[in-house]
Amino acid sequence: MVSNLVPRLQDEHRFPMNRFDASLLWNSVADDSADDSCELEEPASYGTFDESCDESDGECSSVLQSAPAGETFFVPLSYEPNYRYPLIVWLHSDGFNENQVCHVMPHVSTRNYLGVGVRGTQAIDAAGHRFDWHSSSAAMDVAQRRVLHAVRAATSKYSVHPDRIVLAGYQRGGTMAMQIAMRNPEMFAAAISLGGTLGRVGGATIDLDQLRQRRLPMLWQWSIQGDHYSQETLVKEIQFVMNVRSQIEIRQYRNDDEMNTVVLSDLNQWVMDHVVGGAPVAKINPWDSSPTSFSEN
């Protein structure tokens, strides 16, 4: 296990996107049939739409399409069907929906990846615009089916590299991403969590022997000034990951939220280095750690 502690200061001059603008996220979905307590077994279907976005450094014309089964696809600029793209499967934070991928991916990269956003398992508003990731075993099974369906849908519609599928998520979505990746370690090239814990690690649905053989690469990104950050929890989860011999890199940031462009830029570079480039996460042996001091950028 490798634990690289790489805390960084947020650079306010690079696309300051510390919070999502919620008003941008709910205007593409309308379903009055959902209620606050509904835990959906299967997501509703919606029509397709195209959306363009403006970046501070120019125009973003990536294709963003809402598709059946509560999935939203992000297609990179100048999409080339003969190139097999890495795929980032994105699990949104609580209170949002699958369209969050439209706002995250342009700050990761407009050209390097295909992306697909997956809807959470429990509607929390009557209009059916906002969803949470419920933590019950049944809801986790539903979430896993939705992720596997999204991967199949993306690979059938677009040119996806089968060995470069990354499962990533933000806060509770990051927790769900880790849980699903540990259930299916052979399916994913890596798992990434922005401010999400491992949750119920070591549960009966996780094959620990399979995890040890796979040595799943992981990136954990934490803002150490956030209310959800716990050094004690982090230490316990590192101990679990050491037990299953996963390759893990931990990056800590001196701010109160993981959703900023420095974090997303680091995510892009990590995937390009370790998933696309094939560089090992471990340095010398599985138990290495290489902490670094806070960046003064």
> Which domains are assigned to the chain?
22-276 (3.40.50.1820)
- The share of the chain scoring above pLDDT 90, in percent, equals 54
* Confidence at residue 83, expressed as pLDDT on a 0 to 100 scale: 97
Predicted pLDDT at 111: 95
Predicted TM-score (pTM) above 0.95: no
Judge whether residue 155 has pLDDT over 90: yes
pLDDT at residue 99 greater than cutoff 80: yes
* pLDDT at residue number 69: 54
Residue 62: pLDDT over 60: no
pLDDT at 154 over 60: yes
The more confident residue out of 182 and 282 is 182
**In the prediction, which pLDDT does 283 show?**
53
pLDDT at position 199 is 74
Q: Is 67's pLDDT higher than 50?
A: no
What is the rounded average pLDDT for all residues in the chain? 76
Per-residue confidence band for 7, with pLDDT thresholds at 50, 70 and 90: very low
pLDDT in tens, 187-208: 999 999 999 988 765 444 788 8
Lowest mean pLDDT among 92-106, 155-169, 228-242, 247-261: 228-242
Quote the pLDDT of residue 163. Answer: 97
C-beta of residue 73 within 8 angstroms of C-beta of residue 115: yes
| pLDDT recorded at residue 200 | 62
